[in-house]
Structure 1
Amino acid sequence: MWKITYSIVGYDPVEKEWGVATQSKFLAVGAVVPFAVAGVGAVATQSYANTSYGPEGMEHMSSGKSAQETIDLLTSIDEDRALRQVGMIDGQGNAATYTGEKCYDWAGGITGKHYAVQGNILIAGTVEAMAKTFEETEGTLADRLLASLAAGQQAGGDSRGQQSAALLVVKKAGGYGGFSDRFIDLRVDDHKTPVDELIRIHRIHQLYFSKSKKDRIVPIEEQIAETLDHQLTRLGYKKEDQPLLHTFKDYLHTENFEMRAQEDGFIDLDVLEHMTRS
């Protein structure tokens, strides 16, 4: 099955993160395209996708092969390589991309420092816009990957339209509770504007699982206390004769905001802003 898709694989050498972001006119692209292993690398396989490129690519890169060497090895033994498209980044951040000569136009890829962008059946200029945006965007690897994906869509993206998108970022012990390397794993399987929806979900994910910023932690006093009391009442948490701080603690635990809980008498303003938007 043809996968009309564009993707980017990237690496953050400071945080030691590897990731993939992808969008496609295809149901649940996140179930097919992205693969990543912390310390080893990341793979995006698409266009009549050969999903064995993911685990086999990881095996080659974990044994010391570079991204380019790994692509060369995998495509050399693939009889349908002319139909394949793949991007890889290895454990050292070296990037490589491959587009078979029978991939449908427009098809191609670009590599730069710590990233590879590729796509097929695209509006011309899409991968160039993605590469430029990744290079120029500041922030986390996830921020840069998502900005690149959005720039690709704005530049034209998939010539057949949109349907699904995904973001996968791995980091040693970066998963929930530090028990896995799956730092961020988000998917939009079927949506009219999947990239926008993916960005929205990522923003919520960061609110739930990222640590509070020191400059956003303030005492619950006067106006903030009034606002908090109003929001807890509006959201149905306020109970008669229950202290404000006790009610707020109930809210934090019910809504899975344990990572944003502060010592008694303080609040993360990002939580309060989320309450006002809910």
Structure 2
Amino acid sequence: MTFSIAARCAESGQLGIAISSSSIAVGARCPWLLPGIGAVSSQNITLPVLGPKILGELEKGMTPDAALESVLSSHGFSEYRQVTVIDSHGATAVFSGAKSLGTYHAVQGEECVAAGNMLADKAVINAMVQVFEQTAGPLAERLVAALQAGVARGGEAGPVHSAAVKVVGDHPWPIVDLRVDWAVSDPIGELAGLWQAYQPQMQDYITRAIDPRQAPGYGVPGDE
């Protein structure tokens, strides 16, 4: 039902996740990020609590492998879970339970980890990692490019309907948090369009938050 990639930008230290699913609003349940700590995607038969719990263990100093094992062992039904983890150093971990749905696969790459289930082909995940590693530019752009590569390689066995990309950096809030909660077709294309619209404004929104005196005007009523 889902394929995703979690990654770190070696230059900026930003962490991010891009994800798509046949289910509605995948961005509301699966990606979890904590600035300066890590990123976790909890998918397949999703247990959302795994994300914040694993991030909490990373914050205590655990490695991704140890944090993943610790949290999974303290919750039931791990055989139904698929989870990816990346920490602030780029170390990764991944788990795919024996009851992950359909064709499932996971790949740990350079500063990234990708996984999916109900896949058209295992090569979907390989393509995502390859494109992420070969793409230049902002982390969000590389993540969306990886999603596009995955769907171009076949994506899920059936149509996808939702997609999201989330990135954290130096601030306590996400600097990118874009979602397509439902689209009859091509949510990844819609997500790519959202990113292209948001990218030129991203730094302005950070500036507005930190120092409103430096905020650029947008020409709306009351905005001088």
Say which SS state the counterpart of residue 79 (structure 1) adopts.
Answer: coil
**What is the CA–CA distance in structure 1 between the aligned matches of 2:157 and 2:50, rounded to whole Å?**
25
Cα deviation code 1:24-79 (max 9, x no counterpart): 00000000010101100000000111111111011100000111111111222232
Q: Look up the match of 1:196.
A: 189
Note the aligned Cα RMSD (angstroms): 1.9
Q: Do residues 209 (structure 1) and 202 (structure 2) align?
A: yes
Say which SS state the counterpart of residue 71 (structure 2) adopts.
Answer: helix
TM-score, length-normalised on structure 2?
Answer: 0.89
**What is the CA–CA distance in structure 1 between the aligned matches of 2:112 and 2:201, rounded to whole Å?**
28
For residue 187 of structure 1, the aligned residue among 169, 179, 187 is 179
Q: Look up the match of 1:233.
A: none
For residue 31 of structure 1, the aligned residue among 6, 28, 44 is 28
Contact 1:123–1:157 (Cα < 8 Å) also in 2: yes
Say which SS state the counterpart of residue 254 (structure 1) adopts.
Answer: coil
**What is the CA–CA distance in structure 2 between the aligned matches of 1:21 and 1:117, rounded to whole Å?**
9
Q: Look up the match of 1:81.
A: 78
Q: Do residues 47 (structure 1) and 44 (structure 2) align?
A: yes
**What is the CA–CA distance in structure 1 between the aligned matches of 2:177 and 2:65, rounded to whole Å?**
26
Q: Look up the match of 1:57.
A: 54
For residue 160 of structure 1, the aligned residue among 158, 172, 183 is 158
Following superposition, the deviation at residue 208 of structure 1 comes to 2.2
Contact 1:9–1:42 (Cα < 8 Å) also in 2: yes
Contact 1:95–1:113 (Cα < 8 Å) also in 2: no
Q: Look up the match of 2:95.
A: 98
For residue 220 of structure 2, the aligned residue among 254, 258, 278 is 254
**What is the CA–CA distance in structure 1 between the aligned matches of 2:52 and 2:202, rounded to whole Å?**
28
Say which SS state the counterpart of residue 47 (structure 2) adopts.
Answer: coil
**What is the CA–CA distance in structure 2 between the aligned matches of 1:49 and 1:165, rounded to whole Å?**
15
**What is the CA–CA distance in structure 1 between the aligned matches of 2:131 and 2:167, rounded to whole Å?**
18
Contact 2:175–2:202 (Cα < 8 Å) also in 1: no
Say which SS state the counterpart of residue 253 (structure 1) adopts.
Answer: coil
Following superposition, the deviation at residue 91 of structure 1 comes to 1.9
Q: Which has the higher contact order (CA 8 A, sep 6+)?
A: 2
Following superposition, the deviation at residue 181 of structure 1 comes to 2.9
Contact 2:93–2:108 (Cα < 8 Å) also in 1: yes
Partner amino acid, structure 2, of 1:79: G
Contact 1:61–1:91 (Cα < 8 Å) also in 2: no
Contact 1:163–1:193 (Cα < 8 Å) also in 2: yes
Say which SS state the counterpart of residue 65 (structure 2) adopts.
Answer: helix
Q: Look up the match of 2:145.
A: 147
**What is the CA–CA distance in structure 1 between the aligned matches of 2:111 and 2:31, rounded to whole Å?**
16
**After the TM superposition, which residues 258-269 of structure 1 pair with which residues of structure 2 at under 5 Å, given as runs?**
none
TM-score, length-normalised on structure 1?
Answer: 0.72
Partner amino acid, structure 1, of 2:138: T
Count residues with an aligned counterpart: 211
Contact 2:13–2:88 (Cα < 8 Å) also in 1: no
Partner amino acid, structure 2, of 1:131: V
Q: Look up the match of 1:176.
A: none
**What is the CA–CA distance in structure 2 between the aligned matches of 1:106 and 1:163, rounded to whole Å?**
19
Say which SS state the counterpart of residue 32 (structure 2) adopts.
Answer: strand
